Amino acid sequence: MVDQHTIEAVLAGDQDAWDVVVKRFGPLVWSVVRAYGLSAADAHDIVQGTWLRLVESLPGIRDPERIASWLCTTARREAALLLRRTRSEQLTAEPVEPADPAGGGYAADPALAVLTADEGRRLWRAVEGMNEPCRSLFRLMATAPDAGVHQLAGRLGMPTGSYGPTRRRCLDRLRALLVPQEAAS
């Protein structure tokens, strides 16, 4: 857990406290960057820069509640920047301006929401309730993060050219399933 005490210790120069922050939010930063479809080397580079930027910015952040959203925003901005410079891939999403994290939950950022195990389970329950091919597509996308489009399409039994549009439709459906629940609660 990362609380005010942890942050104060980090600011005082405690490496162990920093390691706690890295352990807690490392998977978040990695997943956020990987979702842009960067190579492993580029993803590593962007993750490294995100943490270097946190080292320099932490004295101005201080609030443990803000760190996760700050990391997400910074990692996304750098990943999107790199992608714009190097992209030739069709299947990567165009970044949008980061949503206001004050809204909380999925409406703000699903990657932040699933930092709690309950929200992670809720997300996958929504997926399990979807029809095919979306359910299989998401399962495959999550369990084979390094698979290429050709391979994913093959395992789903669809032409390579159909994977991108299908994935987009499935993501739109999942988004529609998640957001109204959030608005109603």
Partner 1 sequence: MTRRPSSGAFDDAALIAALRLAAGHDPVPDEVAATARAAFRLRLPGAATALPLPVPAASGIRSTGRAHLLRFGADGLTVDLDVDSSGGLIDLAGRICPPPGADARVEVRTPCRAESRTPSPTGQFAVVGLPPGWFSVVCHRPERPPVATSWTRIRPE
Taking CB under 8 A as the criterion, which residues in 112-141 touch partner 1?
Answer: 113-115, 119-121, 123-124, 127, 138, 141
- C-alpha to C-alpha distance for 18 and 127, rounded to whole angstroms: 35
Instruction: Report if residue 67 touches partner 1, rule: CB under 8 A.
Output: no
Task: Give min distance, CB of 111 to partner 1, in A.
Answer: 4
Task: Provide the b/e sequence for 48-84 (b: ≥16 CB within 10 Å).
Answer: ebbbebbeeebeebeebeebbbbbbbbbbbbbbebbe
- C-alpha to C-alpha distance for 94 and 83, rounded to whole angstroms: 9
Which residue from 9, 24, 45, 135 is in contact with partner 1, where contact means CB under 8 A? 45
Task: Give min distance, CB of 134 to partner 1, in A.
Answer: 11
Binding mask 153-182 for partner 1 (x = CB under 8 A): --------------xx--x--xxx-xxx--
- C-alpha to C-alpha distance for 96 and 154, rounded to whole angstroms: 30
Q: Which stretch binds partner 1 (CB under 8 A): 1-9, 29-37, 128-136, 151-159?
A: 29-37
Instruction: Report if residue 109 touches partner 1, rule: CB under 8 A.
Output: yes
Number of residues this chain uses to bind partner 1 (CB under 8 A): 72
Task: Give min distance, CB of 135 to partner 1, in A.
Answer: 12
Which residue from 57, 90, 160, 162 is in contact with partner 1, where contact means CB under 8 A? 57
Tell me which residue of 16, 5, 179, 33 sits closest to 109, measured CA to CA.
179
Does residue 105 come out as left (phi exceeding 0), alpha (psi in the -120 to 50 range) or beta?
left
